């Protein structure tokens, strides 16, 4: 059987290093806000090319706390792609702000050409989600943001190390938000997240907010939360970070094999935006007979996933927005046609070939 993702394979690539670090942290007697978190924050800020990084408990926290600390609240509008992950929308609505949806372009990310038409006096920010590991058109997004005086928040939960015109995703907007959920390109061994920014004041606000609103113990300046990255996760992330470029290069190689090998005319391959260097968090094909394809691949023992089958605005949770089927036809068509093929670190050559051969052999009429 070929799984869609296999985290054990990735762990086993460097298991000795992870085990050594885990024992080191366990034996240290220091588990929250210590030297591992401090070092990881320095190393991740350096890697992205930003001045500051603040470790947090999850990717969702990085999003909603960003919206909150940028003073975006009830009634304010945030522009986001209609096919984004549900956590992106929750990051907005937890603050009682309103998501305003824009259709994806052919690369699956927000169609930057359609942003201007939805800007209103209530628009406060653009949430740029670099879906599947590929950068949005950050040149156009930053131009629009500048022109209309909007904040830009980047959701880089799927694009650790991904580039736009040579610069890392996360380094363009006011804040770059990251999740280190285990299946992400830089995944921890539990929940974890962070933000990056070049704004010293804002970084300080995150540091205070994540720790009950206090910088100095028992001196609480604001009503904060508990959203800390822990020492064990930070230590393990530091190990994985030393291998991240290699891990991403391996994903690119697998994606390259699929790009060259899949020739079935009824399959649409993902397209790479000129100027983007994608890190292939997912390899998302499109096929009109998608549901038959899933069953067919499953019979070959090949597991696939859909990212994502239900658009956030059509989910039960967002019924209150009063949106309906037909509101964003491009996003809706993608949701019916997309399929994420197996792609993970440690995938074997013969497994890649099996996926390619199976996909090429799919004929819904035969
Ligand atoms: C995973 C993910 C998140 C949420 O991260 P968590 O750490 O699971 O809270 C947010 N946005 C995107 C695009 C994601 O893929």
- Does the CB atom of residue 192 touch ligand 1 within 6 A? no
Q: Once rounded to an integer, what is the mean pLDDT over residues 180-205?
A: 98
Index of the ligand 1 atom closest to the CA of residue 91: 10
Domain 244-360 has CATH 3.90.1150.10: yes
Q: Structure pTM?
A: 0.98
Ligand 1 contacts CB of residue 157 (under 6 A): yes
Q: Is the pLDDT of residue 94 over 80?
A: yes
Cβ atoms 196, 52 nearer than 8 A:
yes
Which residue intervals of the chain bear CATH 3.90.1150.10? Answer: 244-360
Tokens matching residue 6 = 């296999």
Residues of each domain in the chain carrying CATH 3.40.640.10? 7-241
| Burial of residue 75, with CB atoms counted within 10 A of its CB: 0-12 exposed, 13-18 middle, 19 or more buried | exposed
pLDDT tens, 9-53? 999 999 999 999 999 999 999 999 999 999 999 999 999 999 999
- Distance between CA atoms of 34 and 264, rounded to whole angstroms? 53
Query: Which residue, by CA, sits nearest to atom 4 of ligand 1?
Result: 59
pLDDT of residue 188: 98
Q: Ligand 1 centre and the CA of 353: distance in Å?
A: 30
pLDDT band at 58 (very low <50, low <70, confident <90, very high): very high
pLDDT band at 60; cut points 50, 70, 90:
very high
Cα 151 to ligand 1 centroid, rounded to whole Å: 20
Is pLDDT of 190 > 80? Answer: yes
User: pLDDT averaged over the chain?
Assistant: 98
Determine the length of the chain.
366
- CATH architecture, domain 7-241: 3-Layer(aba) Sandwich (3.40)
* pLDDT at residue 366 in the model: 75
- Tokens 């929308």 found at: 89
Could you tell which of 179, 195, 280, 305 is best to mutate to test the pocket of ligand 1, judged by most ligand atoms within 8 Å of the CB? 179
Phi, psi of 200 (to 5 degrees): -60, -45
- In this predicted structure, what is the pLDDT of residue 324? 97
Say how far apart CA 155 and CA 175 lie, in whole Å.
9
pLDDT band at 283 (very low <50, low <70, confident <90, very high): very high
**How would you list the strands of the sheet with 163-164, edge to edge?**
167-168, 163-164, 276-277
103 lines ligand 1 (CB under 6 A): no
CB atoms within 10 A of CB 267: 19
C-alpha distance from residue 65 to each of 18, 41, 177, 203 (Å): 30, 17, 10, 11
Q: What CA–CA distance (Å, rounded) separates 56 from 244?
A: 20
The percent of residues above 90 in pLDDT, for the chain, comes to 98
Given a cut of 80, whether residue 125 has pLDDT beyond it is yes
Write the residue with the smallest CA distance to atom 12 of ligand 1.
157
Structure tokens at 346: 């440690």
Q: Residue 93: which of 319, 299, 262, 288 has the closest Cα?
A: 319
- The answer, yes or no, to whether any atom of ligand 1 lies below 6 A from the CB of 158, is yes
Chain segment 210-265, per-residue pLDDT in tens:
999 998 888 999 999 999 999 999 999 999 999 999 999 999 999 999 999 999 99
- Residue pair 41/55 in contact (Cβ under 8 Å)? The answer is yes
Beta bridge partners of 94: none
pLDDT of residue 123: 98
């Amino acid at each position: 059987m070929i799984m869609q993702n296999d985290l054990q394979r990735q762990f086993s690539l460097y298991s000795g290093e992870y085990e050594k670090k885990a024992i080191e942290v366990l034996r240290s007697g220091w588990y929250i806000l210590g030297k591992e978190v401090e070092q990881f924050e320095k190393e991740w800020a350096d890697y992205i090319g930003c001045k500051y990084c603040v470790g947090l408990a999850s990717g969702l926290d990085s999003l909603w706390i960003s919206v909150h600390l940028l003073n975006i609240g009830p009634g304010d509008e945030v522009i986001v792609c209609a096919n984004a992950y549900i956590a992106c929308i929750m990051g907005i609505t937890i603050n009682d702000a309103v998501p305003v949806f824009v259709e994806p372009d052919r690369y699956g990310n927000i169609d930057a050409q359609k942003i201007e038409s939805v800007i209103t006096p209530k628009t406060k920010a653009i949430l740029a989600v670099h879906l599947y590991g590929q950068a949005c058109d950050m040149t156009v997004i930053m131009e629009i943001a500048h022109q209309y005086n909007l904040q830009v928040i980047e959701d880089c939960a799927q694009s650790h190390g991904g580039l736009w015109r040579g610069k890392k995703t996360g380094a363009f907007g006011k804040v770059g938000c990251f999740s280190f959920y285990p299946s992400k390109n830089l995944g921890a061994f539990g929940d974890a997240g962070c933000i990056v920014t070049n704004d010293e004041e804002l970084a300080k606000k995150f540091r205070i907010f994540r720790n009950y609103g206090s910088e100095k113990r028992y001196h609480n300046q604001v009503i904060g939360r508990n959203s800390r990255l822990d020492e064990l996760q930070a230590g393990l992330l530091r190990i994985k970070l030393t291998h991240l470029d290699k891990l991403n290069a391996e994903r690119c190689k697998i994606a390259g094999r699929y790009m060259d090998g899949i020739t079935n005319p009824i399959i649409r391959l993902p397209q790479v935006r000129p100027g983007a260097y994608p890190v292939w968090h997912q390899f998302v094909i499109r096929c009109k007979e998608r549901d038959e394809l899933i069953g067919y691949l499953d019979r070959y023992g090949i597991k696939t996933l859909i990212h994502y089958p239900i658009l956030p605005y059509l989910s039960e949770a967002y019924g209150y927005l009063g949106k309906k089927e037909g509101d964003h036809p491009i996003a809706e068509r993608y949701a019916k046609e997309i399929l994420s093929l197996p792609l993970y670190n440690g995938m074997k050559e013969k497994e890649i070939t099996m996926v390619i051969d199976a996909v090429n052999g799919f004929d819904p009429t035969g």
